[in-house]
Structure 1
């Protein structure tokens, strides 16, 4: 199992923070535990000293020295054994009346008070003790060559007079040893905890970075063009949200890739269609010019026919180029059409005048049913007229002789219907595509761009243009003006 760099960083950060935490806790523990242990020992020494002073407080004076010494031996030994400290009973003249050392060496006849000199730290606090104070002194003992804790408590007689003092002395080194042992146990426990924490940190780091590695792999697949890649992670946190975003991005990229492929195919088809549409008239023109130039055709009537054919093909080329330019402009969102207040009824009336001229050859009848209330909106008059004329021209081409065209406008819907053969079911979804055309007697000169241009003009004016077959025969084109922002007649003068 390969550990990622971020996993190692997370683990190192976690362990470093834990080490800092442990060092801080250890240092604070050491000093607090040491002070606490010293305080406990101090309280115990004070307790023993006060108990010792109470035990001898019923002595009347120092004249009972021998009696007190004999009665105190067992008690002093007991305190030394329990407390582990040196004990002294000292009179007002700073003479030891009894000590734990003297008790241990009672059988030695050569022992006397002068063989047990008082430590200097004891002598230092005795004046304050005989003033009636309980003295607690922490200092360095020259005799023991270490720091000690010394407690002095006054002893009173039945009359409340201080006639002696009880003193206890304990080395602090013993306390430090206990503290060090406690700290050692703490350190061992801490090391075990750190080891377990390190293992746990690596496990957590790996668990944390595993989804990141999955997202990295998915991102690389997306970068190499595999837009079907998915992280498929489900987590209720920020990482889960990030993985969901990557999956959404992958879906969008996949959709964009498919759309790009479609657009590329459309571009190729578009170029192929243009090439096909241009090749025929250019071939005809070239062949006619070669025949005329090389004087293959000399008959005046034939020459006239060739000229007529060349004129027709040139007209078709002109119309094709014009349609291509119109479609290109309309599909370019940067191309701004000039809008001004227009009346739909006025545009329809103007377009019908031209359409009637086109329908004279077939002797078509135009039936109209228009709402009298004018529909006013902002639009490009020329483009809207072009849109309606394209649809009307298309209806005229596919109408039978003596047929009827019906133009009806009601409830914001304009319908243009013919009585032709209708639109084949397989062609109906594609009639607004570029270069989609039916090849037949009625559509010899069609470029396949007219309805695409009409759809673009409609979209630029927020008009919905659709086509369908009528149940009674023929086709109808429907213009839905419901999404238009109309203009109130009363505000027309402001434009």
Structure 2
């Protein structure tokens, strides 16, 4: 099945909408135009009929005043063209018919119908009509006109065999009495032809406007689809791994928002790719370090065991020294394995801590005693300052102790000989500060990442897992852990503790 572009569909939809609008607007305009033409024609006919009625009223009054001299013409017959007065009416009607540019009929008070005749031989014979021939609608017009109203109807169309608009107007004498009715007929063909001509003009105008509108619709559709095609190319580049791709489309609409989201996605993918690459490098470095850490003690252990089992070393003092070295290397292996296991457990969401009500002050005191023993070799001073002796909270005693020991071990490791380390608990803030070499701003961004460790001499025995483990323990307890440091000035580890529980007796 052939695929159709959005531009084609939009252009088609816009064109159909314009076409529908043109048809509706044209139809409405044609109907209104035709109705307006009929209304105007009717109004003109009514004005002309009223004027003719006034003129005919004057004629009737004059005829009435001269009836003594023309008594022989004072009575018309009931026929269509009549005689006597009918002949006078007919001649006068022919005159009015010529100047009115419409057919003029008269119905007198006796309901005799007088129409233009050809008795004088000026025209071809005209059809003869009687009042009895009038349809019901036509009689209604006559009756309303005798009632003093000016009315209009198309009821004479069947009688005249052509679409006709007829207006009836009352003819009043000098006393204001209705003596007759003037019927003014005008063919509707002129109105229809004018309306049709107007419709043709409108149709041509709408066609031209439609062609122009379709052109604009196509341009508008392309303006919509152009940025979409650009975003399609960007999406293809992203799918291919090119995370530097960006649309740079700036529009204040939904398309602009979509382009912005695509650019944001590209940027995030680029950052994720860089993070992944950096993580892989760190992981490779870690495995390299772990391999080295494992290789060294394993080599020492193997060499020592070979010397002992092969009888190369038999002196009791040397044998004891070999045993001591093997023990030290086994402790290093144990420490490395334990760190890996701890981090793996803490990162497992299903691993449950032994949560209970503990006194943090007891843990701080125990860590201080352990740290003092560790600090003796470097002649360090460890001090503690607590604003309370009781700080109860929910936690895992051993894991909280491990968290504080990691921070304290790092402080001891990076402190100069004879330095000082301070632990301070104030309200819900616990800080551990040293005055060692500090950490650079660049390194501070990565200290909580797995496998990351500084390459300084003081950290030669580190595995790069201590602070990640501390971070996991802190998060499990709802403790905020931050590290602030300045090179050459020292480092401070800050623990923002959850609110203390009320002591119970």
Q: TM-score, normalised by structure 1?
A: 0.77
For structure 2, which runs of at least 5 residues remain unmatched after alignment?
68-72, 75-83
Between the aligned partners of 1:285 and 1:219, the Cα distance in structure 2 is 56
Match of 2:258 among 234, 237, 242: 242
Matched with 1:20 is 20
Between the aligned partners of 1:315 and 1:226, the Cα distance in structure 2 is 48
Matched with 2:386 is 371
Say whether the 8 Å CA contact 1:376–1:486 is kept in structure 2: no
Q: What is the SS of the residue equivalent to 1:190?
A: helix
Q: What is the SS of the residue equivalent to 2:154?
A: strand
Say whether the 8 Å CA contact 1:408–1:415 is kept in structure 2: yes
Q: Indicate the larger mover: 212-221 or 389-398.
A: 389-398
Task: Output one character per residue of 1:29-77: Cα deviation in whole Å (capped at 9) or x when no partner.
Answer: 3333333323332333333233222212223275273655555654331
Q: 1:337 to 1:140 in 2, by over 3 A?
A: same
Between the aligned partners of 2:415 and 2:141, the Cα distance in structure 1 is 134
Say whether the 8 Å CA contact 1:297–1:303 is kept in structure 2: no
Say whether the 8 Å CA contact 2:382–2:420 is kept in structure 1: yes
Matched with 1:186 is 202
Equivalent positions of 1:63-462 (< 5 A) are 63=74, 65=85, 73-80=94-101, 85-89=102-106, 99=116, 102=118, 106-107=120-121, 116-118=127-129, 123-124=134-135, 125=138, 129=142, 132-133=146-147, 136-139=152-155, 141=157, 145-158=161-174, 164-291=180-307, 295=310, 297=312, 299=314, 301=316, 305-332=321-348, 335-358=351-374, 362=377, 364=379, 366=381, 368-371=383-386, 373-374=388-389, 376-378=391-393, 379-390=395-406, 392-393=408-409, 403=418, 405-409=420-424, 411=426, 412=429, 414-415=431-432, 417=434, 422=437, 434=451, 436=453, 447=463, 449-450=465-466, 453-454=469-470, 457=473, 461-462=479-480
Offset, 1:191: 0.9
2:503 equivalent to 1:485: no
Between the aligned partners of 1:335 and 1:28, the Cα distance in structure 2 is 77
Say whether the 8 Å CA contact 1:327–1:453 is kept in structure 2: yes
Q: What is the SS of the residue equivalent to 1:493?
A: coil
Between the aligned partners of 1:128 and 1:454, the Cα distance in structure 2 is 107
Task: Output one character per residue of 1:146-198: Cα deviation in whole Å (capped at 9) or x when no partner.
Answer: 22233344545456666654333222233222221111111111111111111
For structure 1, which runs of at least 5 residues remain unmatched after alignment?
none
Between the aligned partners of 1:165 and 1:372, the Cα distance in structure 2 is 120
Matched with 1:50 is 50
Offset, 1:309: 3.6
Q: What is the SS of the residue equivalent to 2:249?
A: coil
Offset, 1:376: 1.4
Matched with 2:70 is none
Say whether the 8 Å CA contact 2:407–2:432 is kept in structure 1: no
Q: 1:45 to 1:318 in 2, by over 3 A?
A: same
Q: Indicate the larger mover: 50-59 or 462-471.
A: 462-471
Between the aligned partners of 1:174 and 1:93, the Cα distance in structure 2 is 34
Between the aligned partners of 2:462 and 2:294, the Cα distance in structure 1 is 13
Q: 1:148 to 1:351 in 2, by over 3 A?
A: closer
Q: TM-score, normalised by structure 2?
A: 0.76
Matched with 2:79 is none
Offset, 1:463: 3.5
Matched with 1:31 is 31
Give aligned pairs, total: 469
Q: Indicate the larger mover: 272-281 or 226-235.
A: 226-235
Q: Indicate the larger mover: 17-26 or 457-466.
A: 457-466
Say whether the 8 Å CA contact 2:157–2:165 is kept in structure 1: no
Q: What is the SS of the residue equivalent to 2:229?
A: helix
Q: What is the SS of the residue equivalent to 1:487?
A: coil
Between the aligned partners of 1:95 and 1:435, the Cα distance in structure 2 is 122
